Amino acid sequence: MFKRLVDSGRTDIAITIFEQKKKLGAGMPYSAEGANDEHITNVSGNEIPMLVTALSDWIKSVSKDTLDKFHIDPQRFNEYKVLPRLLFGQYLTAQFDLLQKQARELGIPYKVFYHSQVTDIIDHPDRELVVVEINEEKKFEFDQVIICTGHHWQHQHEGKVPGYFDSPYPPVKLALQLDHPVAIKGSSLTAVDAIRTLSRHNGSFSKDHQGKVSYQLLDHSPNFKLVLHTRNGMLPAVRFHLEDSHLSNDALLSAEEIALHMAANHGFLSLDYIFEKDFKLPIKEKEPEFYAQIKDMGLEEFVAAMMDLRERLDPFQLLQAEYAEAEKSIRRRASIYWKEMLGVLSFALNYPAKHLSAEDMQRLHKTLTPLISIVIAYIPQSSCEELLALHRAGVLDLIPVGDDSHVEALAAGGAIYSYRDENNQEVTQYFKTYVDCVGQPHLSFEDFPFKSLLTSRTVSPAKLKFFSADEGRKAMAEGKDVTQDQHKDYYLKVSGITINDHFQVVDAYGAFNERIYIMAVPYIGGYNPDYSGLDFSEAASAAIVKRLFLQHEPATCP
């Protein structure tokens, strides 16, 4: 967002940044809050938006000590490599510094307040300004506010129940020697983060002369084990060579095409339409053989076919096979196009998703999202090698637990995991240590942190209209969170707050707010179902800055 404002070159604006920590740029995933030395990004330089300096150039300026610490040879580093998250955080901080320098050179006034937590935001429509409260004490007035508060991990039992962790972050808390099995909920990137930390404190990895990784337990932890629990019993797919950054994919529907389609479809975006146009059609050209297999499949059929393939194979065998496939893709710099397009589809769907009908949003969550979350998690190669080594050493297992599994925290410590096994038998197992690794949850409307915006009804719960009143009635009868308005239309409540296409908050009467924008993903997940990444920040900030400057044309403009 700051880069967008600096790039505008507008000297008639004044920017103020409030950061609760003492550093800009690194945020949660790329600082000690979200990473230790062993944690790596799942994107490489070529997949991230350009800031000021390319990552591969910046690496050359990093001190030898730092590079040695992370085992990086600057001569061999290229834009296709993933890198340690803490090092990436240093890059982002350095880029923020360079952007500040640019702002100074351009004469754009800006201020940064560190150790300044925004504790409330109060909108004053009558005065056309917004008050921002810092550390429950000082108040500042602004014409516009953009909320970029990022990740938030809620604490439920952690700190009260010994051995129970609501998330693996900050990961330093998992630097534990544990001579017993550890239960992990989830099997995707968040679980991989927990695995990378816990495995290092209870054993060690080594590589033979052919590069094969193996794992040995340490003497103090002979009974250490990691037990992953997932609803579908699957591991995520392996990172391969990605051809396009999502934004540069020109095969996608334009905003105008989407608007025309919606106008002809009672104002709704059709999930089937976007699946055909933003997924199947681009594949036709690039991967005709795969297209021939899927051309007659609807969304549900496609997802079932792809899931079936995964369900039939042992997850670790599949991981091994996908590792080999991904290695070939990376060596040849050739994408596995349908998997890349699934990521692109998720990205493309993110922005207009608020225009889906409630029926289509439910289909999205039921069918496409589980496949997307597996395929586009993109486990980096080194994490994949470690997972396979841990499994070979008998230290890593994966248990399918179904939708009705349950975790109960015990006051005395640890948790009981209850689920039905493959033979439909009830299993209850006690674990002394439990880590919830389902990832950043979509937070509800009630969790919104800036309470004055809730009490003044400046923000409202996100909801989606049902295309068919019958379906709405049915969903209401089933006990889903459905409401009916004065026009007798049915709406499904989804997580988070209502926003418009420019990321402006929308009030309880349906009016968007000219002053308040939000791009903090946990609070807008109902309308932005995609897994956020740096490409999201690029797209969201573009939409915001466009609207921001439309409202405030410079005085000198003709």
Ligand X SMILES: Cc1cc2nc3c(=O)[nH]c(=O)nc-3n(C[C@H](O)[C@H](O)[C@H](O)COP(=O)(O)OP(=O)(O)OC[C@H]3O[C@@H](n4cnc5c(N)ncnc54)[C@H](O)[C@@H]3O)c2cc1C
What does the binding site for ligand X look like in residue numbers (CB under 6 A)? 18-21, 27-29, 34, 41-43, 117-118, 148-151, 193, 440, 532-534, 537
CA distance 552 to 558: 13
> What are the distances in angstroms from CA 405 to CA 22, 147, 157, 413, 429?
41, 35, 18, 20, 12
Contacts 24+ apart (CB under 8 A), 253-257: 253/277, 253/278, 253/348
Torsion of CA 496, 502, 505, 510, to 10 degrees: -100
The neighbouring-strand residues paired with 428 are 418
Quickly count: other Cβ atoms within 10 Å of residue 339's Cβ.
Answer: 22
CA distance 533 to 375: 15
The neighbouring-strand residues paired with 524 are none
Burial label for 500, CB within 10 Å (0-12, 13-18, 19+), is middle
Could you tell me the two tokens for 379? 């486990």
Could you tell me the two tokens for 309? 């393939």
Residue 218 near residue 203, CB atoms below 8 Å: yes
> What are the distances in angstroms from CA 375 to CA 181, 282, 307?
28, 18, 10
* Alpha carbons within 13 A on the beta-carbon side of 151: 18
Residue 174 near residue 196, CB atoms below 8 Å: no
Could you tell me the two tokens for 2? 């700051």
Nearest residue (CB) to ligand X, 86 versus 148: 148
* Alpha carbons within 13 A on the beta-carbon side of 200: 15
CA distance 532 to 55: 20
Residue 117 near residue 133, CB atoms below 8 Å: no
* Alpha carbons within 13 A on the beta-carbon side of 485: 13
β 482-484/203-207 pair status:
unpaired
